[in-house]
Amino acid sequence: MLRQLGAGFGSVALAGLLAEGANAAGVVGGSNPLAVQPPHFRPRAKRVIMLFMDGGPSHHDLFDYKPLLVRDAGQPLPQKLPRVLSNADRFGNLMAPISKFRQCGESGLWMSDLTPHLAAVADDLCLIRSMHCSNPQHGAACLEWHTGSATFVRPSMGSWLTYGLGSENQNLPGYVTMCQPLASGGAGLYGSAFLPAAYQGTPLGQERSPAAEAKFRFIESRHARPRLQRMELDLLQAMGREHLATSGADSELEARINSFELAFRMQAEAPEAQDLSAESAATRALYGVDEKATANFAQQCLLARRFIERGVRFVQCNLGGWDHHYNIRTGLRNNARQMDKPIAGLLQDLKSRGLLDETLVIWGGEFGRTPVSEGTNGRDHNPYGYTMWLAGGGVRGGMTYGQTDEYGFHAVENKVHVHDLHATILNLLGLDHEKLTYPYAGRNFRLTDVEGRVVHEIMT
């Protein structure tokens, strides 16, 4: 985060660390790493809100309507099972969606009755129904979705984007994630790995902690009054300048002196960004901030808008509990309710403020679920075919892209792998996924490794 500000003469990148790879502007290290960088080409979106549904939401019950699954419910699956599965020994027969679907909006997208508010904004959604990834377990699949690699420690997508584009607000971190899940990859999900630490996500709160407690760490002064802290900082500055004078010019020492001033400013700006009391009653109602079922995720979504407004590049909201191996009927219904109104509210709010055009909203989990039941009343993990959706900046609303097979198990048409969606997201932000590289351990690394197809078909 925010390193080296106003660094005197010290903005010369060390040649040995620079090497050949670089972000869009060719800056590595040296001067402020979060300074705004020009993209590779004209971007369709400027920033990202990612709504991560931890656990693997069931596409069969939410976004991927399959009449055959209704018709053949209770029958055995007439397909060969994949080679690698999660709980194959608990597989049952085909299980009908737990809710009805109907066509919505001018586009006529098939939407589930579980999410009536989202159905009302169907014309803004671009459903990608042919997602697939490489691993049927949470940890690996979460890592794959966030970093592109299930196996190795790699920078997260948010880190890559912040590295590529910098941040528009120097008093806030460029990449923020709220109520981040701890298991299934943990900090690896928002880590910067070998990218400089300035690009790692700043976690606010953690899984299961109320969004109201998701605050910046150490942001609150312990002083009774700012004046007292100011006095200490003034002495600290005086001592620092004197030390610098006897040490000989050194940009690092200078940067450290400045970092305390920035910290002092952040103490003022960050709490303000997180203060929802300034929001109108109408806005709070739009998100469902004051309703019990939606309060928590609504606060995350509303905070996301406030961060985005202040120039934060990448904001992630997290909603867990989607791992419905058991009792999917009640469990999924609850989860759907928790997200439905807040997300629809977010999309409408962004739109009315003119922010949706330049903000890319991404919804999805690490994988989907099986069309067959697990045990008697659940669905198992399914990385072979599932739905994610995009909305906003540069994406065509009211469309579907790709298809799963007739039971929704495998993606079969216009398949989109996680690498492909990563390439597409970077493209929407004006970055070429093959050019956004960083040199590490003897070679240049990319978010998409050696893969990735940009799905131009979904763009405006």
Q: Which of residues 315-344 bind other proteins (CB under 8 A)?
A: 326
The correct pick among 25, 105, 107, 259 for binding other proteins (CB under 8 A) is 259
| CA-wise closest residue to 384 among 42, 56, 51 | 56
As measured in angstroms, the least distance from the Cβ of 5 to other proteins is 8
Residue ranges in 21-115 assigned as alpha helix (H): 59-62, 67-71
Site string for other proteins, 4-23 (x = CB under 8 A): x----xx-x-xxx-------
Q: Is 238 in the site for other proteins (CB under 8 A)?
A: yes
Query: Across-strand partners of 362?
Result: 50, 390
As measured in angstroms, the least distance from the Cβ of 454 to other proteins is 17
Q: Is 213 in the site for other proteins (CB under 8 A)?
A: no
Residue 85 or 276: the one with the smaller Cβ distance to other proteins is 85
Q: Is 257 in the site for other proteins (CB under 8 A)?
A: yes
241 token code pair: 């300048």
How far is it, in rounded angstroms, from Cα 272 to Cα 277? Answer: 10
Q: Which stretch binds other proteins (CB under 8 A): 117-125, 130-138, 339-347, 423-431?
A: 130-138
Q: Is 215 in the site for other proteins (CB under 8 A)?
A: no
The correct pick among 35, 81, 235, 268 for binding other proteins (CB under 8 A) is 235
Q: Is 212 in the site for other proteins (CB under 8 A)?
A: no
3-class state of residue 121 by DSSP:
coil
Q: Is 42 in the site for other proteins (CB under 8 A)?
A: no
Number of residues that bind other proteins (CB under 8 A): 92
Residue 220 or 290: the one with the smaller Cβ distance to other proteins is 220
Q: Is 151 in the site for other proteins (CB under 8 A)?
A: yes
How far is it, in rounded angstroms, from Cα 86 to Cα 369? Answer: 11
As measured in angstroms, the least distance from the Cβ of 375 to other proteins is 5
Q: Is 272 in the site for other proteins (CB under 8 A)?
A: no
Burial classification of residue 376, based on how many CB atoms lie within 10 Å of its CB (0-12 exposed, 13-18 middle, 19 or more buried): exposed
| CA-wise closest residue to 390 among 452, 322, 458 | 458
Radius of gyration, alpha carbons of the chain = 23
The correct pick among 183, 272, 290, 457 for binding other proteins (CB under 8 A) is 183
Q: Is 435 in the site for other proteins (CB under 8 A)?
A: no
Hey, what's the torsion of the CAs at 39, 459, 444, 152, to 10 degrees? 130
Q: Which stretch binds other proteins (CB under 8 A): 60-68, 112-120, 230-238, 311-319?
A: 230-238
Query: Across-strand partners of 118?
Result: none
Residue 187 or 212: the one with the smaller Cβ distance to other proteins is 187
Burial classification of residue 357, based on how many CB atoms lie within 10 Å of its CB (0-12 exposed, 13-18 middle, 19 or more buried): middle
List b or e across 231-258, with b for residues whose CB sees 16 or more CB atoms inside 10 angstroms: eebeeeeeebeeebeeeeeebebbbebb
Q: Which stretch binds other proteins (CB under 8 A): 55-63, 275-283, 342-350, 409-417?
A: 409-417
The correct pick among 102, 243, 329, 353 for binding other proteins (CB under 8 A) is 243
The correct pick among 228, 329, 353, 457 for binding other proteins (CB under 8 A) is 228
List b or e across 75-106, with b for residues whose CB sees 16 or more CB atoms inside 10 angstroms: eebeeeeeeebbeeeebbebbbbbeebeebbe
Q: Is 80 in the site for other proteins (CB under 8 A)?
A: yes
Q: Is 415 in the site for other proteins (CB under 8 A)?
A: yes
As measured in angstroms, the least distance from the Cβ of 120 to other proteins is 34
Q: Is 35 in the site for other proteins (CB under 8 A)?
A: no
As measured in angstroms, the least distance from the Cβ of 213 to other proteins is 11
Q: Is 81 in the site for other proteins (CB under 8 A)?
A: no
42 token code pair: 């004209």
- Strand 314-319 relative to strand 359-364, pairing: unpaired
